[in-house]
């Protein structure tokens, strides 16, 4: 009996040790994630990318993360053409984050896009949730997360700049800001993203009270908005500049503090 049972037991051991574990191993599942600026193009390398996180909803485990890399996409396709059902909006060069996840069973995940990642004052978080099925890749356009907003950089005055009032002509200080779409796309007079149709305004505070509200005008230089503000008194000031597109309800803000002596 021992001569018969021993080989059988050994074979059973091999089955349990090597074969059965293989039956429950995770399957590689490819997931593509893209971040697309509201009313604009994809967020890619030229503006620092979007930082993507894929997390197991139940455990909070971070399954994959990284930056979207690539181009902003085809302007004509994205902004000028009508899209039918199943129209693919991306091509091989379009910015994306691609992950390969080993999952053993359907997994409910949260996917986040932090974008634009290198512009902290403009960065927002967009997210969605979905089931990933082992071996069922999500490719093509993949998962597209919309990123609302504008990237606004106040150019003048600078943060914590000390300004001698005696150097101002009739108390006037030029306020200027650079405003672009969240993908970095250009805003200009009469352009595809028409700065003449956007509302860009300055709100100036002193001692936490609003003292001026001024509209900025688009310059002949793309992305540049300017206005002259008059300051009668020295003091500590806060400048907030916002952009608003009435056609899309898109908004963005930047702030600085400065001192007039």
pLDDT in tens, the chain (261 residues): 444 456 556 565 555 555 554 555 789 999 999 999 999 999 999 999 999 999 999 999 999 999 999 999 999 999 999 999 999 999 999 999 999 999 999 999 999 999 999 999 999 999 999 999 999 999 999 999 999 999 999 999 999 999 999 999 999 999 999 999 999 999 999 999 999 999 999 999 999 999 999 999 999 999 999 999 999 999 999 999 999 999 999 999 999 999 999
Query: For 26-147, CATH number?
Result: 2.60.40
What fold, for 150-260?
Immunoglobulin-like (2.60.40)
Nearest to 21, CA basis, from 107, 104, 100: 104
pTM: 0.88
Rounded to whole angstroms, what are the CA distances from 161 to 64, 256, 260?
Answer: 42, 9, 8
- Return d(Cα 137, Cα 218) in angstroms, integer: 45
In residues, how long is the chain?
261
- Alpha-carbon gap, residue 200 to 259, rounded angstroms: 23
Q: What residue spans in the chain does CATH classification 2.60.40.10 cover?
A: 150-260
C-alpha closest to that of 216 among 229, 228, 224, 225: 225
Q: Pick from 63, 65, 91, 66: which is nearest to 77 by CA?
A: 91
Tokens standing for residue 69: 């890399």
CA nearest to 39, candidates 230, 183, 210: 183
């Amino acid at each position: 009996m021992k001569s018969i049972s021993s080989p059988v037991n050994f074979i059973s051991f091999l089955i349990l040790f090597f074969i059965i574990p293989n039956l429950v191993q995770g399957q590689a599942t490819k997931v593509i994630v893209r971040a697309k600026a509201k009313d604009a193009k994809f967020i890619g390398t030229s503006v620092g990318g979007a930082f993507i996180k894929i997390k197991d909803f139940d455990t909070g485990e971070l399954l994959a993360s990284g930056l979207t890399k690539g181009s902003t996409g085809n302007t004509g396709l994205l902004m000028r053409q009508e899209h039918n059902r199943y129209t693919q909006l991306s091509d091989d060069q379009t910015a994306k984050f691609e992950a390969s996840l080993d999952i053993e069973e359907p997994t409910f995940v949260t996917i986040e896009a932090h974008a634009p990642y290198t512009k902290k004052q403009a960065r927002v978080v967009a997210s969605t949730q979905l089931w990933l099925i082992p071996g069922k890749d999500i490719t093509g356009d993949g998962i597209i997360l919309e990123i609302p907003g504008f990237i606004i950089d106040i150019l003048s005055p600078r943060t914590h700049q000390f300004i001698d009032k005696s150097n101002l002509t009739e108390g006037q200080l030029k306020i200027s800001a650079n405003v672009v779409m969240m993908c970095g796309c250009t805003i200009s007079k009469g352009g595809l993203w028409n700065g003449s149709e956007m509302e860009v305004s300055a709100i100036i505070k002193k001692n936490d009270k609003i003292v001026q509200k001024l509209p900025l005008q688009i310059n002949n230089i793309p992305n540049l908005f300017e206005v002259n503000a008059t300051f009668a008194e020295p003091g500590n000031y806060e400048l907030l500049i916002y952009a608003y597109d009435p056609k899309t309800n898109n908004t963005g803000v930047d702030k600085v503090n400065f001192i007039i002596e």
